[in-house]
Every structure is written in C-alpha cells, then in structure tokens.
Amino acid sequence: MELVIQNLSKTYSNGVRALAGLSLTVPNGMFGLLGPNGAGKSTLMRTVATLQRPDSGTIRLGTLDVLAQPDEVRKLLGYLPQEFGLYPNLSAEMVLDHFASLKGVSVRQERKALVDALLQQTNLYEVRAKRVGGFSGGMKQRLGIAIALAGQPQLLIVDEPTAGLDPTERRRFLNLLADISEDVIVILSTHIVDDIRELCQRMAIIDRGQVVLAGDPRGVIDAMRGRVWSRTMPRADLPAFLASHDVISTRLVSGMPTVHVYSETDPGSGFASAEAGLEDAYFHRIGALTTAE
C-alpha cells in the first residue's frame, strides 16, 4: 500500500500559506518528514488524517480517495498528534479499553485481549493500573501509540513524538516505532534530524509548504560527500566567512565557532574536508531555499 499526495495546497484565513502544491509518495515502512517549525508538516499530517480539508489537490491511500472517503480512511488510520489529552484519573488499562471500544471492538473479551496485547507491546503492562496523570512524558507517548494502534491501522501518523523526551524514553519510543513499521506505513513528522537518520528508509524535507528534497537518508548523505568542509575560527572572523562562503551551519566547540560550508572544491583558507551528515543536507537545502527567496 502507498500514500500518494499530489499538488496539495492550503492557505489559512489569516493568509498563511501552509502547503504550496506539495506532492509526495509514501511507501510502506518508516517514512521521515523533516522540516523546521512552520514548514507545513502539521498541516500536512492533519490533512492526511482527515481532520481538515485542503484548498486543492488529491490524496490516495491504496485504492481509497482520502478526501472523498474520509470515513473509510479513518478505519485504516492511527494518529498521534503533537499534543493530545488523556483522562488523568483513569488507569492506562481503562483509557485504552475506552478507546478500543470507540474503535469498534465491542466484544468485551476481545477488547481485553487487545488491550493486554497493546500494553505489552508498548511496555506499559506492568503499570496498567496506574493513573495516567502520574505517567512520565515517554509513558504518555507510548500510551498514545497504543491508542493509535487500537484499530489495527494500515497508516500510522506520529507528529513530533520525541520532543521533550529524555534520551532513555526517546530510544524506547523509537524502537517501538521501528517494530510497528514492519507491517504498516508509519509517517514520522519531526524537526529532529537524528530521528530520521536512525529510523527511516525513506524521507522528505519540506519547507514553506513544499518538498525541497526527497530520497533515502543514505543516498541524501552520499550526495553531500566531498562537498562539506569544516574550519574552527575566531569569532571576529565569522561575519566575513558568512558573507563569502556557502555556509551550512555554525556551532560552538570549546567556545570557538566551527563552520561547515558547502563547496564542490576545496575552499582553502584552512578548511578541511568533513564527514557529511544528514544534518548538513538538511541545513543546506533549507538554507538554499531561504537564499533563493
């Protein structure tokens, strides 16, 4: 099954153009959607999840027309938004039982078996009787995934799922997503480059509501090899380099600015070839779009 998005556009009533003729094909497995805040990622996810309509364009999930058949699509959809509410005074088991019932699992014994299986899958079974108001951020995210999986979806959308999680919870959550993606389409929308690099077989970078780069992470990185150069320099020299070079990024190392630049050939001036990473490709594409405007 594939998700095929063609020429999707959306402009809000305040004049903000969130999507600008965006086209994208998402295959089975883990797909990373990368972009800065305000790039249009959440608008795209809400539109695919049938929560809002675009101004124009089409979306197909397999044989289904997502915009014309939203009720049928929702039967195949699991969605974990960036922010979601839970009933804080209910146990995890009760919350999940409630949502499984809403998903149409009406037979009590079947629902209990499903709830137990999902709690085991998300490593929450041992705390199933605990009130979710006392859950950590990572536990709430895993419960959110369990809720999204209650209807056995063919398409799972997760929007900024690791924001605010500590390293241990982030790793546990990413491993859970990797396991789930063996059987379904999982769209991971994030601005965290490492999440995409570690998990996804395919990816796209969007900005200003458009796809600026698409491919597999390894191929994206390979295309940057031999074109990324690095140099550490005094702060006073930084403005001149920003004006004269195609600067990808700057960061402080031991208090000194370290600059990554993009160049087809050795830029000289003390630069050394640097190992290219997905972050370099990301900042180069976003920066190139900004420069073009």
Residue range 152-209, pLDDT digits in tens: 899 999 988 887 788 888 888 888 888 888 879 999 988 888 889 888 999 999 999 9
Q: Choose which CATH entry (2.60.120.10, 3.40.50.300, 3.40.50.10420, 3.40.50.720) describes domain 1-76+153-215.
A: 3.40.50.300
pLDDT, average across residues 21-47: 93
Residues above pLDDT 70, as percent of the chain: 98
Give the CA distances from residue 150 to residues 16, 48, 199, in Å, rounded to whole numbers and listed in that order.
Answer: 35, 19, 23
Instruction: For strands 247-253 and 228-232, give the pairing.
Output: unpaired
Using one digit for the tens of pLDDT, what is the confidence trace for 232-288? 988 888 888 788 888 898 888 888 888 999 999 998 878 899 999 999 999 988 875
Residues 6+ apart with CB under 8 A from 192: 162, 163
What type of residue is 112?
K
Average pLDDT, the chain: 89
CB 168 within 8 A of CB 137: no
Q: Can you give the pTM of this predicted structure?
A: 0.85
Using one digit for the tens of pLDDT, what is the confidence trace for 135-153? 988 888 889 889 988 888 9
Alpha carbons 153 and 149: distance in angstroms, whole number? 6
Using one digit for the tens of pLDDT, what is the confidence trace for 69-97? 999 999 899 998 877 778 889 999 999 99
The predicted pLDDT at position 288 comes to 54
The predicted pLDDT at position 289 comes to 47
> Of residues 293 and 87, which shows the higher confidence score?
87
pLDDT-derived band of residue 104, with 50, 70 and 90 as boundaries? confident
pLDDT-derived band of residue 293, with 50, 70 and 90 as boundaries? very low
- Angle ∠(28,78,151) on CA atoms, nearest 5: 105
